[in-house]
Amino acid sequence: MDKLLITGGNRLDGEISVSGAKNAALPILCASLLTPDTIALKNVPALKDIGTTVRLLGQMGVRITQEGDNALSLAAGGVHSLEAPYDLVKTMRASILVLGPLLARFGQAKVSLPGGCAIGQRPVDQHIKGLAALGAEISIEHGFVIARANRLKGASIRTDMVTVTGTENLMMAAVLAEGQTVLENAAREPEVADLAELLIKMGARIQGHGTDRIVIDGVDSLHGAEHTIVADRIEAGTFLCAVGATGGDILLRNAAPDTMGAILDKLQEAGMAIECGADWIRGSMSRRPKAVGFRTYEYPAFPTDMQAQVMALNTIADGTAVIVENIFENRYMHVQELGRMGAKIDIDGHTAVVTGVPALSGATVMATDLRASASLVIAGLAARGETTVERIYHLDRGYERMEHKLRSVGANIQRIVREQA
Ligand code: EPU
């Protein structure tokens, strides 16, 4: 397995181009199943999870062509399998996103249940409940969700909690249902809105995306479309945290600052100077960060996907920060590793109390999930001495060429590629 070797202490100065959002690209790739026509996508990030989705769709018979860097076209005219097997779903939970589109267009689907993962139990009961409300017959057999319907019928659905992929799955199912669907308590994340924008370009009738009440009037069929994936707010936020921790001045191009309000506010509170244009963000830091507490909630509040990175910033801040993780029950696995670098963090249930220390010291640490890995990289960039981050395949799932981007702004970071036996 590859690892990253980081020598901390360098300031970060320069420009970075932000990639397309992983969590928008994944449902959008799955939306190609809704039409036999071609979906042409730009700004698709080159990530392991995108490769897994391409493999999954390819196995089903979707024809996928790479049209140059970060551009893909997908044509689902020849789909011959309506199944998402366990070996792919277990490596990427977002595979559940084929369930809604397959059921809506082909009337059946068989998708492996994802099971738990490092950050929490993460059931998909709300996806299933919503599809059943749309008229699907659903059973769980041998670890698979098996769903059937002649034609889905619009319904009013209120999910028990706000769920991002649940909202996306139900929206993709409802666009081809007969009649009107109202999704109450819907996720407002920019990635959900970006999926809705693509579906509208394909001929879907959707209103209210970006709010917690999405109204969908089903249509008989959808057609091809072109779409550019929205910028990754979490990737952008991660680079800003890195500068917050090391000091420096970076300009993020191809960013979407209008999707990043809570993140930018928090970084300003920590002492960063932030300036934004329509598609760029400049972030600079010339002092020790101030400790900043926060609670993770659904968008537009502070995102769980930035919790670990802002915690890394807090480890070297002036003061004490109280962090509450409200979305996932087990998303503090970076805490122990940060502790190995000298961070002072106490956990009590969902609450973490971080007491800033003057400096971290480099160590060998283990990445346990995607955002935990990013927090260890930030800590390593700020620490004294060398840090080795092991098991970085998690990082490759969600950050496009992270070490190249960081090196281009002055970080001392290298990938050690492990020889295959
Ligand atoms: N939940 C249920 N039942 C369901 C669905 C969700 O109990 O049927 C619970 C979850 O266990 C969790 C909460 O509801 O406690 C919210 O989960 P949600 O469904 O919103 O998460 P997700 O859709 O599985 C997406 C992102 C995650 C991100 C979360 C929260 C994608 C592919 N993944 O997951 O991204 O953390 O929303 O914003 O969009 C990441 O990129 O690192 C990542 C984990």
Query: Who's near 139: CB < 8 A, 6+ residues apart?
Result: 145, 146
Mean pLDDT across 381-392: 96
Mean pLDDT across 233-248: 98
Task: Verify whether residue 30 is a known catalytic residue.
Answer: no
Ligand 1 atom closest to the Cα of residue 126 is: 8
> What pLDDT, on the 0 to 100 scale, is given for residue 122?
82
Residue nearest to atom 11 of ligand 1 (CA): 122
Ligand 1 atom closest to the Cα of residue 127 is: 8
Query: Does 235 sit in the ligand 1 pocket, CB within 6 Å?
Result: no
CA dihedral 76, 80, 83, 84 (to 10 degrees): -50
Q: Residue 65 class from Cβ within 10 Å (0-12 exposed, 13-18 middle, 19+ buried)?
A: exposed
The Cβ-side half-sphere exposure at 139, using a 13 Å CA radius, reads 3
- Among candidate residues 278, 268, 209, 211, the one with its CA nearest the CA of residue 237: 268
Amino acid type, 208: G
Residue nearest to atom 39 of ligand 1 (CA): 23
To test the ligand 1 pocket, which listed residue (92, 128, 165) has its Cβ within 8 A of the most ligand atoms?
165
Q: Residue 404 class from Cβ within 10 Å (0-12 exposed, 13-18 middle, 19+ buried)?
A: exposed
pLDDT mean across residues, the chain? 96
Residue nearest to atom 5 of ligand 1 (CA): 124
Residue 149 DSSP one-character state:
-
pLDDT per residue as tens digits for the range 33-57: 999 999 999 999 999 999 999 999 9
Query: Does 28 sit in the ligand 1 pocket, CB within 6 Å?
Result: no
Res 421 pLDDT > 60: no
Tokens for 56?
């999954």
Mean pLDDT across 77-85: 97
**Cα 177 to middle of ligand 1, angstroms:** 25
**Which residue in this structure is represented by tokens 């901390």?**
8
pLDDT per residue as tens digits for the range 116-170: 677 777 889 999 999 999 999 999 999 999 999 999 999 999 999 999 999 999 9
Q: How far apart are CA 376 and CA 276, in angstroms?
A: 27
> What pLDDT, on the 0 to 100 scale, is given for residue 144?
94
